C-alpha cells in the first residue's frame, strides 16, 4: 500500500490553523472533488501528493449565522444542511438543489467548491451575483476578500499556504426576482456546460439593481459591473426591447473552451441566448 498519507485531524479550528501553518496540508472537508481528482486504480489509496488537513468535522466551520447585514455561512457546512437553513438565500438553495446528487450534497461544501475554483463550479455564479466575500483565516488573523478577487483562474486562487477559508459572507439584500439556470447533460450529477445566475430588483418601472453572473464560459465567472451599472435606472420596457444589444455587449467576455462536456460554439451561443432570455422574460420570473 506504500507510504501512509500525512493526514491531520485537528480537534479544534485553532489547532487546524497551527497545523496548516506548520505543514501546508491541503484542507479537505467532504472530499468530493479531491478524492476524484487524486483517484488511483481500485484498492489503491488516492494520492493527493501532499499532506491533507481534515476539517469537515469541525463544527465551528459548519455554522450558519444571520446578522443584521449579512448571513455568514461556515465553509464546511454541507450543501444538504444549507438547503434546510432558513437564512440561506433562495437563489443559492435553488442552485444547490440542482447540484450533483443527494449523496454529494450530503458531503460537499461551499468552501470546497470555492477552493476548487473551477470555472464550472456550480455555486460560483450565484456567490458572485450575491456579492459574497470570503473570510480567510490563519494563525496570523483574518482577512476578508470579495470572491471575484479570490479566484484568479481555472483551479487558481489566492489562498495563502497557511490559510483556511472560514466563512462565506453573503450580504443581505432583497430582490424582486432570483433566477438560476444550469445547462447540463442530464438533471442529476452532470457537471455544468453553462450556469447562469441573475438577480433583479425594480423601482417604479425601472431597473434598481441587476446582477448577472455566468459560469463555465471563461477562465473565471463572467460578471460585468460596468454593463450592469449602465442598465440601472433604465425603464424595464426599454431593457426588454434592447435585450439583444445588451447580450451582445457580453460577447467579448464570453471566452469558452471546448472540453468533454461541451464545445466552444455551443457555450457561446447558448450563453448569449440565456442572457437575452433573462433580460426579456427571466427578470420577471423565478426559475
Q: Which stretch binds other proteins (CB under 8 A): 25-33, 111-119, 151-159, 246-254?
A: 25-33
Per rule CB under 8 A, is residue 103 in the interface with other proteins?
yes
Q: How far is the CB of 226 from other proteins (least distance, A)?
A: 39
Minimum CB separation of residue 192 from other proteins in Å reads 15
Nearer to other proteins, 189 or 281 (CB): 189
**Minimum separation from the CB atom of position 32 to other proteins (A):** 6
Rounded CA-CA distance 257/118 in Å is 13
Q: Does 100 bind other proteins (CB under 8 A)?
A: yes
Between CA 219 and CA 152 the distance in angstroms is 8
**49 contacts other proteins (rule: CB under 8 A):** no
- Measured from the CB of residue 164, what is the shortest distance to other proteins in angstroms? 16
Shortest Cβ 121–other proteins spacing (Å): 16
| Phi, psi for 169 (deg, rounded to 5) | -100, 115
Q: How many residues bind other proteins (CB under 8 A)?
A: 33
Cell 471566452 belongs to residue:
255
For residue 174, state whether it binds other proteins (rule: CB under 8 A).
Answer: no
Q: In 3-state terms, the chain is what percent helix, strand and coil (to 5)?
A: 35, 25, 40
Provide the binding-site residues for other proteins, judged by CB under 8 A: 1, 4-5, 7, 9, 28, 30-32, 35-36, 39, 42-43, 45-48, 52, 54, 56-57, 80, 100-104, 106-107, 187-189
Amino acid at each position: 500500500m506504500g507510504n501512509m498519507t500525512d493526514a491531520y485531524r485537528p480537534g479544534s479550528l485553532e489547532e487546524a490553523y497551527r497545523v496548516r501553518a506548520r505543514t501546508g496540508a491541503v484542507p479537505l472537508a467532504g472530499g468530493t472533488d479531491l478524492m476524484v481528482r487524486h483517484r488511483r486504480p481500485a484498492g489503491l489509496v488516492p494520492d493527493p501528493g501532499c499532506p491533507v488537513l481534515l476539517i469537515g468535522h469541525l463544527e465551528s466551520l459548519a455554522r450558519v449565522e444571520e446578522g443584521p447585514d449579512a448571513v455568514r455561512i461556515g465553509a464546511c457546512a454541507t450543501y444538504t444542511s444549507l438547503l434546510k437553513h432558513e437564512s440561506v438565500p433562495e437563489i443559492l438553495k435553488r442552485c444547490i438543489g440542482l447540484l450533483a446528487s443527494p449523496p454529494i450534497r450530503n458531503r460537499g461544501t461551499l468552501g470546497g467548491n470555492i477552493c476548487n475554483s473551477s470555472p464550472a463550479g456550480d455555486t460560483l455564479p450565484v456567490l458572485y451575483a450575491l456579492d459574497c466575500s470570503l473570510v480567510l483565516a490563519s494563525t496570523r488573523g483574518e482577512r476578508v476578500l470579495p470572491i471575484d478577487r479570490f479566484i484568479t483562474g481555472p483551479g487558481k486562487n489566492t489562498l495563502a499556504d497557511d490559510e483556511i477559508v472560514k466563512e462565506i459572507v453573503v450580504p443581505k439584500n432583497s430582490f424582486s426576482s432570483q433566477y438560476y439556470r444550469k445547462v447540463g447533460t442530464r438533471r442529476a450529477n452532470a457537471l455544468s456546460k453553462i450556469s447562469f445566475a441573475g438577480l433583479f430588483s425594480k423601482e417604479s418601472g425601472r431597473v434598481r439593481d441587476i446582477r448577472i453572473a455566468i459560469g463555465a464560459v471563461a477562465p473565471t465567472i463572467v460578471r460585468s459591473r460596468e454593463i450592469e451599472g449602465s442598465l440601472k435606472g433604465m425603464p424595464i420596457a426599454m431593457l426588454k426591447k434592447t435585450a439583444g444589444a445588451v447580450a451582445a455587449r457580453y460577447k467579448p467576455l464570453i471566452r469558452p473552451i471546448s472540453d468533454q462536456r461541451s464545445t466552444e460554439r455551443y457555450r457561446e451561443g447558448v450563453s448569449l441566448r440565456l442572457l437575452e432570455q433573462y433580460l426579456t422574460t427571466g427578470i420577471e420570473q423565478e426559475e
